[in-house]
Amino acid sequence: MGSEDEKKVVHVAMFSGGAGSAFVANHMIQTYGKENCILFFTNTLWEDEDNYRFMDEVSKYIGIEITERLDGRTPEEVFHDERFLGNARLAKCSEELKVRQTIIFLEDELRNERNLEPILYFGIGPHEKHRAVNLKEFYSHFPLEPIETRFPLIDLFRGDLDAKGIIRDEWGIELPRMYSIAEKLATEEDNENAKIVLKNGIKGFSHANCAGRCVRGGFQHYAVLYALWPERYKEQEEMEERFRASFKKDVSILKKNGGSYTMKQFREVMENEGFEKFLFKEDADIPCLCSFS
């Protein structure tokens, strides 16, 4: 028998609003029961509206409410507070709005207040094993005591598991529109830019974080954003200009030849030369910790 103060285990699905984490959350609940599980989401306040719709439908389908925690700031507010503009190399927004809120929840709420010992579940697939290694390493050192991490899509299921197809066809839940926004705009709105993006083999964004405004996106990512959602590209351009003006720093989200390359500069090039030439760039984007949660 364990000691009187031994913590009861609670299974926590790190819910990002993506298909992988939704599938893993359902598996976790089916395995351990709703009463022993938590569906956990950290909100950046920049999410696409359709992400919330998807998360709500998944929550209802698997039968457990979402436990949401938020810092209260947007990524832009974090950049100003930290005096550092997020970019592909370092994204303080993820550290503050996702990681910090997660650690507070795990350590303060679960371990200290409720005497529970969390085991974390991530929707990372076999093609992303390096991310699983990084997460396992992070949660073995960063908290006060190591936290166990599990990756069912890697350890339990066959490699060709189609989580998106299962959610769409068997659960009857439409996936977040960001995965297929080019397809939707091309067919439903006869959008010419979307047709060009689609013709180049790009159905949408590689992940659904921050409504396409993820600062870890590269040239291809922002070319797609400019083509499909020019108003969101403009929001990101204006956000970058506000930061540069406030701190009088020549900094930018994108980089070129080792130096700053502003969203405004990139837009002007696309206006003159076309966005199509940037759809093939290899530095599409570098998923941040938001993609892991």
- The residues, any chain, with a CB within 8 Å of residue 93's CB and separated by 6 or more, are 44, 75, 78, 79, 86, 215
Gap between the Cα atoms of 278 and 268, Å rounded: 13
The superfamily in CATH containing domain 8-170 is: HUPs (3.40.50.620)
Gap between the Cα atoms of 20 and 153, Å rounded: 8
Q: Among residues 56, 147, 166, which one has the least CA distance to residue 107?
A: 147
Residue in this structure with the two tokens 């030369």, named with its chain if needed = 273
Q: Along the 293 residues of the chain, how does pLDDT read in single tens digits?
A: 444 468 999 999 999 888 999 999 999 999 999 999 999 999 999 999 999 999 999 999 999 999 999 999 999 999 999 999 999 888 899 999 999 999 999 999 999 999 999 999 999 988 888 889 999 999 998 767 899 999 999 998 876 789 999 999 999 999 999 999 999 999 999 999 999 999 999 999 988 889 999 999 899 999 999 999 999 999 999 999 999 999 999 999 999 998 999 999 999 999 999 999 999 865 544 555 554 43
- Polymer length in residues for the chain: 293
Provide the sign of the torsion angle of the four alpha carbons 85, 91, 95, 99, taken in this order.
Answer: positive
For residues 232 and 238, is the Cβ–Cβ distance under 8 A?
no
**pTM, whole model, 2 decimals?**
0.89
For residues 147 and 120, is the Cβ–Cβ distance under 8 A?
yes
Domain ranges for the chain: 8-170, 177-291
